[in-house]
Structure 1
Amino acid sequence: MTARNLPVLVLVHGAWHGAWCWDHLIAELTGRGWPNPAVVDLPSATGDSDAGLYDDARAVRQHLARFDEPVVVLAHSYGGMPVTEAAADVPNVRQLVYLSAHMLDEGESLVSPIGGPWYPPENRSIAPPENPRELFYHDVPAEIADDAASRLRPQSARSFEEPLTRAAWKSIRSAYIVCDQDRVFPEGLADKLAPKADLVRRLPGSHSPFLARPATLADTLEDVVSQGPLATGSSKAG
């Protein structure tokens, strides 16, 4: 694809994070001629314990509706949930890219695949993990990892517990990027989710390639977009 027909890229972060986590990837993409990607800050990761999955989906849907151009959405980790819920009825969304993300079905919540919450059921807010560098950033340069860990925010429990009512990947072409040394997902979970996608790619390293290897992630993103519906003219149905 040429710079003249590159789609709008919308980036949706995961639990405990914010739009800031995409800064290194955005710098890499804009340096390659991409239009400046748009980012969404999810309400459930702002410290608001009352904000759940549906509030996040509303924020994503409102953001996507701003654009008339074709849109590709890149969702990381928990971000796959509100994107899956929100994108199905936004006509300009042409491709979903799940980056080590929860690609689940109607009726499932984030905690469904692991059999329920791992935190006390009375908790309305979940603090960031105690060991974020080991869990999220084990291959990220130390200075960048320390900065990221210092910026993590509490996540609402509702966002993990509310079930999907829609599954956008059933009607929109999708790609899944598996991170081979991911320490966040239970063993094998990403490989169970990935076959739902129309295209699968793998990256070495941790749950956070946007910090560990943004150039490699940008290469992979360009690859999946070049083979998506905007390049091929194909649709999900066809």
Structure 2
Amino acid sequence: MVSNEAEGIGLSVQNLQIGATPCNCNARAAKGIGYDTPQAQLQAAANYMANRDKEREKVVQREVTEQLDKLDDRWLKEIRADLGGQELIENPNLLRNRVSQQAALYSVAFGLKPKDAISAAIKNTRSHYTVIHGMALDVNDRRIPPDFEELAKDHLNEVYKKYGKELGISSARDLYLVPSGEMSDVFIIMAKGRLIGPIGALGVPGEETVLTPEKLDAARERIRSTQIKNATDPVQKAIKRTQEPAGSFNPAEDDKLR
């Protein structure tokens, strides 16, 4: 949310753009580089509007692109360190476009040099994404639980068990998620395999094609039940052994309990 004062003079920074591309020039974007007060947001929005010039914006975007090219994949390594560690990100262009747009925005709105604007954009991008099965996913402004990644992977594994063969995929990692819309808590399930695209377009029933908050709750319960079962099974086996008739000792079974 921007300040009422900013909205009052028509500077709804959530709708500001670089060229024709919508950019996230709002409180969250500003906060990423320290502009987290209503006064600073207002000043940033005012600066952006005052400095808007199509030719200048083209120059800024070109400078940002050139700086990103100089960084090679170092910018991605910075992001990847917080998004799954060493896991390969299979859709880096999504992140690069986001960093590029944010950096150009910061450069125009806040007067940052391209290098500094890129550093701020990387920091901001890291806080907005997670990685599910190698695919970066924008989770900003979405009400997701802290254990979202674990729950999402569990649900995708269940979908794979049911429809993997039909979809022609070899593992649950061939399923990933994309947002269903702005600020939505629902995610569309996609396939990476031979048949690429939303699984709803590949023959999977409609209710099975999305990940919802209710399905996350079901995944949490499924994980909890499995954990309880894994914890109690050895105890139940030990109890059963004490009830067996004398002379029925099984060394192999005893080794399993150790």
TM-score, normalising length from structure 2?
A: 0.23
TM-score, normalising length from structure 1?
A: 0.25
Q: Which has the higher contact order (CA 8 A, sep 6+)?
A: 1
Higher helix share: 2
Q: Which has the larger radius of gyration?
A: 2
